[in-house]
Structure 1
Amino acid sequence: MSIRLHDRSFPDEYGICFAVEARAQGLHAELPGTEMWVWDEAWLPDFISQLAADYRGWADERTWQANHLTVRATFHSGGHVALTWQLQPWVSRSDAWQASITTWLEGGEQMSNLAADLREFLPNPGPTK
């Protein structure tokens, strides 16, 4: 089971575009054209960094969303974090589909490493809000 972000591009100085691929047994879903903009509520690397900083845990589900990608995080016993990645290319079409997979990481170091990898792949392209 895996999530892969790839095909990064910069449409202008305020945004970043990338594709997301989800793979699991019997599943291969691709979401091209995922966009993040500097004025979005939260940058994905910042969201993951905050989860890593809270390695002792939290009570409720935390959610990050941009365009057609949603990431939900829940903290579990033993210091493990479940990240559910939901891909949904259309929200209003009758033939719309969505796919989600859950990846598990240890809170703290594994989450910090993921945040660093995301920050390298998804640098904030413009001035901060």
Structure 2
Amino acid sequence: MFFVVHAQAPGLGARVEGVTDVVTGRGLARFLERLDLHGWQGEQRWADADRDLIVKARYESGGQVGLTWVLRPWRSVFGGWDVGVTAWLEAGAAKDGVAAQFHDFLTAEGFPV
């Protein structure tokens, strides 16, 4: 299974195609699910097999989790570039909801879990 990651804002459009989660099953969803509600020190990271997509998680006081989605296509014919977008979530229900959505998205009939 391959998927596309697209980041868009006024004056910015970044897209990475062929991102895969096959090597680790639903690794991205599991990574998000394992982020501790009670916080942690430093940064936790997940990357797809080709490192085209990197997700960095940072816990801030007040129960906020910053998820930075870094798109970095190594196969670009135009040279290297990357773009990062940070989304802030509540460490509890909001983070769990995102993890559940990724579980649903990355589950396909016949797809190995």
Please classify the TM superposition score into its range, dividing by the shorter chain length: 0.7 to 0.9
Q: Which runs of 5+ in 1 are unaligned?
A: 1-15
Output the TM-score relative to the length of structure 1: 0.76
Runs of 4 or more consecutive aligned structure 1 residues displaced over 4 Å after TM superposition: 91-94
Partner of 1:7: none
Output the TM-score relative to the length of structure 2: 0.86
Aligned residues: 109
2: CA distance, partners of 1:86 / 1:97: 10
Greater strand share, 1 or 2? 1
| Secondary structure class of the residue paired with 2:39 | coil
Mapping 1:1-129, distance limit 5 Å: 16-37=1-22, 39-40=23-24, 43-51=27-35, 54-66=36-48, 67=50, 68-90=52-74, 95-123=79-107, 125-127=111-113
| Secondary structure class of the residue paired with 1:89 | coil
Query: Do the aligned partners of 2:26 and 2:103 also contact (CA within 8 Å) in 1?
Result: no
Q: Which runs of 5+ in 2 are unaligned?
A: none
Shift of 1:32: 1.1
| Secondary structure class of the residue paired with 2:21 | strand
